[in-house]
Structure 1
């Protein structure tokens, strides 16, 4: 089968053996894939958790049809239209644990379905489970113009946030954040952004910050968080290391939580998928929670899709179809 593989000379389409499901695994005939920032890093040889390196089939997010079941797979049948996340998505066939699947709504095509699994699971876990957002509270999403950022703002609104603030350093993308739930859009490179957040929250600061940037904004986040507020660190696109004001952190009594799928067990991941199904799935089916598709590329043009992502001018998801 065709797959997008990282090799000694970089990433390229190659022929690899078709996988066989074992245990609770399900074999998926992939129809569309969503691109993510971690994929871009892996095309350059970076490791993402236990994945990466020469011989790795790339990709983390997909939609397709169930082609075959492992002997212990439950809750799914051959022919089901599904979407999910996991390793080796950029291929004609991929494997997934039966608990890491979502049934794609009938009113959603494969391209649309492929945009959602990572954003839904990551941000429901960050905003609701770890962020403990309550109705009437305020939320700041750092890096809000990414696919997961757009979803974070929408989930916050769905769960009753009184004020949602989103950041983007790109003026064009910042101007569109209100389409996806932002009451205020800020530029995190502007030194005055903390003051903007404090003004928007009557001087108190945000109850919850969903941080996909960190690095240079880490201490600013502390200053922009309410006393006894929460920060959930989801991403580190602005840097994995930075100065941290422990005194300000302690003085404001901020709960600081770090999350990632890379070190979670399959049992934890199943719980996250179940929480999405239980808590917000009706909003997915009604298309209240949605992501825009920036561009769609054929699988043979997947290199161009990654070049488009690296140019960093897109809003929403880049999709590759098979």
Structure 2
């Protein structure tokens, strides 16, 4: 089968063996893939958790049809239209644990392209906002890096779950101007030295109850200043860098709960629980089309390299998708 593989000369489409499901695995005939920032790094040979490097079939988000079931797989049948996340997604066929996928809503007329934009955004941001962030109705939240696909989903989930004040950041003026379309009450530029003052003004001088941070690095101390006493910061991404100055005294003085999250070190059961939580809490909004992401551009699988060039240029809003 055809797959997008990192090799000695970089990432390229090549032939690899078709996998077979074992245990609770499901074999999926892939119809579309969503691109993610971690994928971009892996096209350059970076390791993401236990995956990456020479010989790696790239990709982590897909939609398609169930082609075969492992002997212990439950909850789906051959022919079901599904979407999910997991390694080796940029291929004609991929394997997924039966608990790491969603059935595409039958009544919504959702396309494979639309479905491929959702799994990582839904699971990442529901877990960050609701499970780890403990967001409550009437509270305020700041999404750092809000113009990314997962960031746009975070804005929508926060508003859906009753946040009173939703703030999003983007360093791109055009994308910042569109954040209100996705639920932001205020849009800020995290490279503007005065953004903390804007957040404090919007929260009556208190700071936000919760920050979901996808930038880290250069905004770490500003985040502390913008978070209220006994507030929470959930560190989801590190687009601005993995290291930076951190004011431990300010962190202690404001008694902020600082939580780091990643899928890379979670067990299979932990990931199943995250998918279950999405189904139990916000799935009706997915079925109704309330929670959705814009598609920036769709490429055929043969042009996946061009799709990553577009992501690398960082001019897109929403998800870049490839189809098979």
Equivalent residue number for residue 318 of structure 1: 320
Equivalent residue number for residue 68 of structure 2: 68
Equivalent residue number for residue 298 of structure 2: 296
Equivalent residue number for residue 21 of structure 2: 21
Equivalent residue number for residue 116 of structure 1: 118
TM-aligned CA deviation for residue 305 of structure 1: 0.2
Equivalent residue number for residue 180 of structure 1: 182
Q: Is 1:9 matched up with 2:19? A: no
Distance in 2, Cα, partners of 1:53 & 1:240: 20
Q: How does the TM-score come out when normalised to structure 1? A: 1.00
TM-aligned CA deviation for residue 194 of structure 1: 0.1
Q: Secondary structure at the match of 1:63?
A: strand
Distance in 2, Cα, partners of 1:298 & 1:105: 24
**What are the Cα deviations for residues 265-310 of structure 1, in whole angstroms up to 9, with x where unaligned?**
0000000000000000000000100000000000000000000000
Equivalent residue number for residue 268 of structure 2: 266
Q: Secondary structure at the match of 1:99?
A: coil
Q: Is 1:37 matched up with 2:37? A: yes
Alignment of 1:74-223 (within 5 A): 74-106=74-106, 107-223=109-225
TM-aligned CA deviation for residue 105 of structure 1: 1.1
Equivalent residue number for residue 227 of structure 1: 229
Distance in 1, Cα, partners of 2:80 & 2:30: 12
Distance in 2, Cα, partners of 1:103 & 1:279: 15
Q: How does the TM-score come out when normalised to structure 2? A: 0.99
**What are the Cα deviations for residues 180-216 of structure 1, in whole angstroms up to 9, with x where unaligned?**
0000000000000000000000000000000000100
TM-aligned CA deviation for residue 319 of structure 1: 0.1
Q: Secondary structure at the match of 2:237?
A: coil
Aligned partner of 2:288 among 277, 286, 289: 286
Distance in 1, Cα, partners of 2:183 & 2:315: 20
Q: Which runs of 4 or more aligned residues in structure 1 lie more than 2 Å from their structure 2 counterparts after TM superposition?
A: none
Gaps of 5+ in 2: none
Distance in 2, Cα, partners of 1:74 & 1:142: 37
Distance in 1, Cα, partners of 2:77 & 2:104: 13
**What are the Cα deviations for residues 31-83 of structure 1, in whole angstroms up to 9, with x where unaligned?**
00000000000000000000000000000000000000000000110000000
Distance in 1, Cα, partners of 2:216 & 2:199: 17
Q: Secondary structure at the match of 1:189?
A: coil
> How many residues in Structure 1 have an aligned counterpart in Structure 2?
322
Distance in 1, Cα, partners of 2:311 & 2:180: 22
